[in-house]
């Protein structure tokens, strides 16, 4: 076994960075709190709320884009507050594979709370050792996901808790510069993937349009996208 396998040193690394990465339990970095539970009559207007789908579908959040609203009093607004750098985890679901999905808040929210279906992890004592952009990935690695599922419980619904996540481990570079470089790299990669998915969606819409307008009644709606791409190239 090589040194890179026995120590906390990544096999693939940006040039200019050396030394071992830090390994800590999540409980050394974050303190957890359960979210707000209210009757359905309180929802639909009021303050913004971070919901399950917001966290599950996004590794990072800008609270200006939240669509959920809930009426809360000043005490609830304080107790269930949302701040820049908070990390939310999906807490409960019918499917265990949906448990523990993370999402980090990247902006400075105002009048925002979070749902009881998610957990809030906030940097301990206001000291944040992990870059916000890097948080998007350090809590979503394959090893972290496997440990999350192992430590979650399943009865009628799958469930995790702050005490369970506290015991899990993360490995991260001590250098804030290295964290930022990794976070920026993956952010750009995610953006490129998003653009490619948008292109694919457009091609799928074009395919359906061609089938609808085709003079052939037996147009194959399952025609491969690649054929449309070839048609486009020939047309050029």
109, pLDDT greater than 80: yes
108, pLDDT greater than 70: yes
52, pLDDT greater than 80: yes
The confidence score (pLDDT) of residue 11 equals 86
> Helices (DSSP H) in 121-175: which residue ranges?
132-138, 142-151, 162-166
Tell me how far apart the alpha carbons of residues 45 and 96 are, in angstroms, rounded to a whole number: 31
8, pLDDT greater than 60: yes
When the pLDDT of each residue in the chain is averaged and rounded to a whole number, the result is 88
pTM of the entire structure?
0.81
Of the candidates 75, 101, 66, which has an alpha carbon nearest to the alpha carbon of residue 87?
101
The confidence score (pLDDT) of residue 180 equals 93
Q: How confident is the model at residue 190 (pLDDT cuts 50, 70, 90)?
A: confident
Beta strands in 81-140 (DSSP E): 87-90, 92-93, 102-105, 112-114, 118-123
Enumerate the β-bridge partners of residue 51.
Answer: none
Q: How confident is the model at residue 234 (pLDDT cuts 50, 70, 90)?
A: very low
For the CA atoms of 174, 12, 88, 98, the dihedral, rounded to the nearest 10 degrees, stands at -150
Q: Return all residues near 140 (Cβ < 8 A) that are at least 6 apart.
A: 59, 101, 102
The label of the residue with tokens 């999905």 reads 101
The confidence score (pLDDT) of residue 125 equals 84
The confidence score (pLDDT) of residue 219 equals 60
Higher pLDDT, 154 or 168: 168
Q: How confident is the model at residue 3 (pLDDT cuts 50, 70, 90)?
A: very low
Mean pLDDT of 111-119: 98
The label of the residue with tokens 């990669």 reads 189
């Amino acid at each position: 076994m090589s040194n890179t396998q026995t120590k906390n040193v990544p096999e693939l690394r940006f040039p200019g960075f050396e030394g071992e990465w830090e390994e800590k339990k999540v409980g050394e970095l974050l303190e957890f709190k359960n979210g707000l539970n209210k009757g359905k009559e309180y929802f639909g207007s009021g303050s913004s709320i971070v919901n399950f789908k917001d966290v599950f579908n996004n590794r990072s959040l800008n609270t200006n884009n939240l669509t959920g609203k809930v009426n809360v009093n000043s005490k609830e607004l304080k107790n269930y507050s949302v701040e820049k750098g908070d990390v939310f985890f999906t807490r409960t679901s019918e499917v265990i594979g949906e448990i523990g999905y993370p999402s980090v808040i990247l902006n400075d929210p105002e009048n925002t709370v979070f749902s009881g279906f998610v957990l809030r992890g906030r940097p301990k004592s206001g000291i944040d050792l992990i870059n916000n952009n890097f948080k998007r990935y350090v809590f979503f690695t394959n090893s972290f996901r496997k440990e999350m599922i192992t430590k979650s419980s399943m009865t009628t619904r799958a469930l995790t808790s702050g005490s369970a996540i506290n015991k899990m481990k993360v490995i991260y570079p001590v250098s804030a510069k290295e964290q930022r470089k990794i976070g920026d790299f993956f952010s750009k990669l995610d953006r490129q993937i998003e653009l490619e998915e948008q292109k694919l969606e457009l091609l799928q819409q074009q395919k359906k349009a061609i089938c609808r307008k085709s003079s052939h009644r037996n147009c194959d709606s399952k025609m491969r996208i690649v054929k449309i791409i070839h048609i486009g190239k020939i047309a050029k």
